[in-house]
Chain A
Amino acid sequence: MTSASATEDVNRIDRRFAELKAAGRTGLIPFVTAGDPLPPATVALMHALVEAGADLIELGVPFSDPMADGPVIQHASERALARGVGLAKILEWVREFRTRDAATPIVLMGYLNPVEIHGAACFAREAVEAGVDGVLLVDCPIEEIDTAAPLREAGLRQIFLAAPTTTDARLGRVCEAAQGFLYYVSFAGITGADRLSQDDVRTRVGAIKQRARTPVAVGFGVRDAASAAAIGEFADAVVIGSALVERLAAATDADDARARARDFLAPIRAALDARGSGEA
């Protein structure tokens, strides 16, 4: 740990969740695939997400073989790759985003191979320098946590998933390893399918929150204001991925992408906040 990172105080993810908790608000975490729908629109799109109420941004790193993603995000990956989007470009965008926004946490979400080929230590250094706060490597479960050690050592928060199929015994170990926040995927399948049974999710998330030392975000299958508000009743944050990516896919230019993001997120933000103020 260098003195520079020590003086840069807490990680943005930790700080943001502390703020949310203090304000009694539910976090809103949109996911977009970096470089999709249009590479030049990415930074503007990220700012638009924040303006529409995002508390944290998950930026998808496209991969050629996204085994754990559904067709919507896979197609977004393919579109981005076809336009030459890669890790170096993505870090450049994060750096550019940071010139105007020093507070909103950014989590890169993707698969191990690009990080491995880049070199985990080298990637970690560059990511921290660019202003990335956390990394969710979909194909790096806690069993393979050593692989990602350089990321944690560099100060990045490693986000882990918990699933309905995660056993109780294992959940303890996942909670132990979790940094930043724990990401509960609310059904057993891949991203983007409609399999949300809200009562099951509520029960399960309740159990996880009792054991987790980090906040718990719930995602996968959250599509609109109503489903987000329902999840927001018990989750610390709500993640919206496929539904947003689908909405953005047809954008014609950067302005259109920003407008689509705002139109989609604003009612969700309002629904989450209405719930919060209603209770207060």
Chain B
Amino acid sequence: MSSPSVAAAPVAAIDYLHYPDARGRFGDYGGSYVAETLIAPLAELTAAYETLRADPAFVAEFERDLTHYVGRPSPIYHAERLSRQIGGAQILLKREDLNHTGAHKINNTIGQALVARSMGKRRVIAETGAGQHGVATATVCARFGLDCVVYMGATDIERQKINVYRMKLLGAEVVPVTSGSKTLKDALNEAMRDWVTNVADTFYIIGTVAGPHPYPQMVRDFNSVVGREARAQMLGQYGRLPDVITACVGGGSNAIGLFHAFLNDRDVRIVGAEAAGEGIETGHHAASLAAGRPGVLHGNRTYVLCDDDGQITETHSVSAGLDYPGVGPEHAFLKDSGRATYVGVTDEEALAAFHQLARTEGILAALESSHAVAQAMKLARELPEDALVLCNLSGRGDKDVHTIAAREGIAL
């Protein structure tokens, strides 16, 4: 086969654990599409990270914090009543919602804070949409004694008052962003500007597997503890790997965290659940892989949602954490290579899954994670009773109760 396109190569030929390449590419995706002013700080970060990831003392400290501060390992829980109600395969939940701060996000912020500290940076900046990454960043900054500034869209600040206050309690400064659509992507633009201007003493903790190299790799590495743990737990508890694994995909950090350890296990099907919002056909969604096209956004080549003139379009999802017009480049690569499939889950389907999980298992899942639960339920219905569907329950839903109440017309 002479085509250089990864899509044309047989799946078995690809060693998925060896990406990205030295230029930060996952096949055609990823890279460093940034202004000249960012090249030097990114090179400094890449060099520091390459050294640290091979340093046993760094790895040991990271793992110690994951155990004693985050509370890892998180269990795999067999949702028996839910599985019975569905009447198909067994649904297993990887309980990232039980981590300190209530989501997978802390895996990454601990890792990056350790990198920041070892690079001698005293000030940390971050962008946040729903506020989960902001809270996880503020948390580790408090723990490591670093100054913390979080950029957040003015619209999101209005929608997520509790998380804003939480960040302030943790000592972070929250800066409202009033440009563009006043949401996550604008906060990311603003954080990038801060970084360029203050790079000498500032470390930028990106919250998802997007952005320029080395972020997609670094954020994945820190989150990939989820999949490594889950893979060992499956073998220990069930004596085999799951038939299907699934996770929600916004930027895609919890999904790649779960998927990565399974990428070379060809018998394990991998399905990502994107936010189809009010339905992909309505245009009100955030399904970059299912409905977008290859482009360049926020420093990497990936699938983006944009109009025919290349302008990034506004997205919609009931869950703020999935409300992003791009997606991590490794997911774009997995889609094109056929290793993973990505499907849309609507707001309604996610909300229904939220309620069903709450009532059958006593678990309030984050609205983001509820997309994965909805997808796991769909998959379970199609599979025999002895099949195993592993779903990443990436975060808890306490933060979403106001949103859900408001949607259902209930005043709290």
User: Per-residue 0/1 for B266-279: is the Cβ within 8 Å of any A Cβ (1 yes, 0 no)?
Assistant: 00000000000000
- Among the listed B37, B41, B293, B312, which residue makes an inter-chain contact with A190, where contact means beta carbons less than 8 Å apart? B37
Question: Which of A138-146, A196-204, A234-242 is found at the contact surface with chain B?
Answer: A138-146
The answer to the question of B6 belonging to the interface, with a C-beta cut-off of 8 Å to chain A, is no
- Among the listed A65, A143, A144, which residue makes an inter-chain contact with B298, where contact means beta carbons less than 8 Å apart? A65
Instruction: Given contacts A74-B189, A143-B23, list 6 more A-B pairs with CB under 8 A.
Output: A111-B296, A117-B295, A117-B308, A139-B35, A144-B32, A166-B36
- Among the listed B36, B43, B311, which residue makes an inter-chain contact with A114, where contact means beta carbons less than 8 Å apart? B311
The answer to the question of A250 belonging to the interface, with a C-beta cut-off of 8 Å to chain B, is no
State whether B41 touches A116 (Cβ < 8 A).
no
Residues of B within 8 A of A162 (CB): 36
The answer to the question of B143 belonging to the interface, with a C-beta cut-off of 8 Å to chain A, is no
State whether B309 touches A86 (Cβ < 8 A).
yes
Residues of A within 8 A of B304 (CB): 113
**Contact A64:B311 (CB < 8 A) given known A139-B299, A188-B199, A190-B196:** yes
The answer to the question of A189 belonging to the interface, with a C-beta cut-off of 8 Å to chain B, is yes
The answer to the question of B179 belonging to the interface, with a C-beta cut-off of 8 Å to chain A, is yes
**Contact A67:B37 (CB < 8 A) given known A115-B310, A117-B293, A118-B310:** no
**Docked complex: A209-234 residues within 8 A CB-CB of B:** none
Residues of B within 8 A of A138 (CB): 35
- Among the listed A75, A116, A141, A165, which residue makes an inter-chain contact with B32, where contact means beta carbons less than 8 Å apart? A141
The answer to the question of B8 belonging to the interface, with a C-beta cut-off of 8 Å to chain A, is no
Q: Closest 4 interchain pairs by CB?
A: A114-B310, A117-B310, A86-B309, A165-B40
The answer to the question of A271 belonging to the interface, with a C-beta cut-off of 8 Å to chain B, is no
Residues of B within 8 A of A74 (CB): 179-180, 189
**Docked complex: B186-215 residues within 8 A CB-CB of A:** 186, 189, 192-193, 196-197, 199
Residues of A within 8 A of B311 (CB): 63-64, 81, 86, 113-114
Q: How many A-B residue pairs have CB under 8 A?
A: 131
User: Per-residue 0/1 for B297-311: is the Cβ within 8 Å of any A Cβ (1 yes, 0 no)?
Assistant: 111000010101111
**Docked complex: A62-80 residues within 8 A CB-CB of B:** 63-68, 70-71, 74-75, 78
Residues of B within 8 A of A65 (CB): 180, 185-186, 189, 297-298, 312
**Docked complex: B305-347 residues within 8 A CB-CB of A:** 306, 308-312
The answer to the question of A160 belonging to the interface, with a C-beta cut-off of 8 Å to chain B, is yes
Residues of A within 8 A of B33 (CB): 112, 139-141, 144, 147
- Among the listed B37, B41, B193, which residue makes an inter-chain contact with A185, where contact means beta carbons less than 8 Å apart? B37
Q: Interface SS of chain B: helix, strand, loop or mixed?
A: mixed
Residues of B within 8 A of A144 (CB): 31-33
State whether B37 touches A188 (Cβ < 8 A).
yes
Residues of A within 8 A of B38 (CB): 68
User: Per-residue 0/1 for A46-64: is the Cβ within 8 Å of any B Cβ (1 yes, 0 no)?
Assistant: 0000000000000000011
Q: List chain A positions with a Cβ less than 8 A from chain B.
A: 63-68, 70-71, 74-75, 78, 81, 86-88, 111-118, 138-141, 143-144, 147, 160-163, 165-167, 170, 174, 185, 188-190, 193
**Contact A166:B196 (CB < 8 A) given known A113-B296, A114-B309:** no
A71 vs B186: C-alpha distance in the bound complex, in angstroms?
12
Residues of A within 8 A of B232 (CB): none
**Contact A113:B310 (CB < 8 A) given known A67-B298, A78-B179, A144-B32:** yes
Residues of B within 8 A of A167 (CB): 40, 43
A170 vs B43: C-alpha distance in the bound complex, in angstroms?
11
Q: How far is the CB of A175 from chain B (nearest CB, A)?
A: 13
Closest to A114 in B: B310
A74 vs B293: C-alpha distance in the bound complex, in angstroms?
24
State whether A185 touches B36 (Cβ < 8 A).
yes
State whether B306 touches A190 (Cβ < 8 A).
no
Residues of A within 8 A of B180 (CB): 64-65, 74, 78
Closest to A188 in B: B37
Q: How far is the CB of A172 from chain B (nearest CB, A)?
A: 14
Residues of B within 8 A of A63 (CB): 310-311
Most interface-central of A64, A66, A113 (chain B CB within 10 A): A64
